[in-house]
Amino acid sequence: MSGVRVPLVASRVAVVLASASLYIYLTHWQVFRVMTDYPLLGVMSSLAVGVGYWQIVTRAPGAVRVARRKLGAAGFEPATSRA
């Protein structure tokens, strides 16, 4: 079965939207209800917020690990609770 040829830019946009689709779905209703007077702007804003949220959620764990490593290398120890 052969694939469908599309321009590289369209392919990259499709991959990002597909990857972020869950986060777009989770956030679209909050964004779109504010933009009811401007439907196209509402759709575009919903896509942008969903993609941004996806980026934050997928990159946050790695950023926390890097920060912990840097703090550990600098001599900072995590706080421990005393019971």
Q: What pLDDT, in 10s, does the model give residues 23-33? A: 999 999 999 88
Residue 3 lies in a domain: no
Exposed/middle/buried for residue 6 (C-beta within 10 Å: 0-12, 13-18, 19+): exposed
Residue 78 lies in a domain: no
Phi-psi sector, 2: left (phi>0), alpha (psi -120 to 50), beta: beta
Q: What pLDDT does residue 12 have?
A: 95
Q: pTM of the entire structure? A: 0.71
Quick: pLDDT tens for 34-65.
Answer: 888 999 999 999 999 999 999 999 988 888 88
**Structural domain range at position 67:** 8-73
* pLDDT-based confidence at residue 69 (cuts at 50, 70, 90): confident
CA 11 vs CA 16, 24, 51: distances in Å: 9, 18, 16
Residue 79 lies in a domain: no
Number of domains in the chain: 1
Contact 35, 45 (CB under 8 A): yes
Euclidean distance between CA atoms 69 and 53, whole angstroms: 25
Residue 63 lies in a domain: yes
